[in-house]
Amino acid sequence: GAVVSQHPSRVICKSGTSVKIECRSLDFQATTMFWYRQFPKQSLMLMATSNEGSKATYEQGVEKDKFLINHASLTLSTLTVTSAHPEDSSFYICSARPRGRGTYNEQFFGPGTRLTVL
Amino acid sequence: GENVEQHPSTLSVQEGDSAVIKCTYSDSASNYFPWYKQELGKRPQLIIDIRSNVGEKKDQRIAVTLNKTAKHFSLHITETQPEDSAVYFCAPQDLDTGRRALTFGSGTRLQVQP
């Protein structure tokens, strides 16, 4: 149980285009999902917290108009990188926290999406 | 916010030796202390965690020890094997705040030499 998928696993796009990444919890409901970005040989940095049915909360320095997050259901959150540029090339990972776990905070990560912007 | 540091940043050991990674945090209210393992190009996976009311927890070859007074906790791996080679991240948290996003340490790259 507690499986999180991401699609696509890899994407290469041209500068200026938009890319959508999906994060799904396959066997549980998640009221909250998180989006992280990881540059090579670096740690995971939180970009935003995605809440089902409400607006995402972005971390300082993350442009909400550039990284659009939609959490339309209890099992799906999407991250759209708009007008992508080479500096957006990174490994994007989502995580989901199962609903109803109280204060316990085990999170389950997706396999990540490697974005390359040419 | 939480300021998290990990040491060492890289660690190379011979197979069968022990490895210890230390995580120092700043928020004295932190009460949950997990360790994640991330293999190259893969997702992070929780390998062990501890709550603040416990000083040590062990699960086979891995253990976590906590020193709340000094604000640090450590990951111990005994009888290391090549498959332990990965990057390890700590992510201390205060579960009482309601904030559920993880603040990861900078990571420790462990290389186990056969």
Q: What is the pLDDT of residues B50-73, one digit of tens each?
A: 998 889 999 999 999 999 999 999
* A105·B93 Cβ contact <8 A: yes
Chain B CA closest to residue A94? B43
Determine the pLDDT at residue B44.
93
Determine the pLDDT at residue A51.
86
Residues on chain B touching A4 (C-beta within 8 angstroms): 43
Tell me which of A55-64, B43-52, B93-102 is least confident: B93-102
Consecutive 10-residue averages of pLDDT for chain A (118 residues): 91 97 93 92 93 89 94 92 96 89 74 96
Distance from CA of B53 to the nearest CA of A (A): 14
Distance from CA of B95 to the nearest CA of A (A): 6
Three-state DSSP string of A78-107: EEEECCCCHHHCEEEEEEEECCCCCCCCCC
- Pick the closest to residue A34 from B94, B86, B43, B106 (CA basis): B43
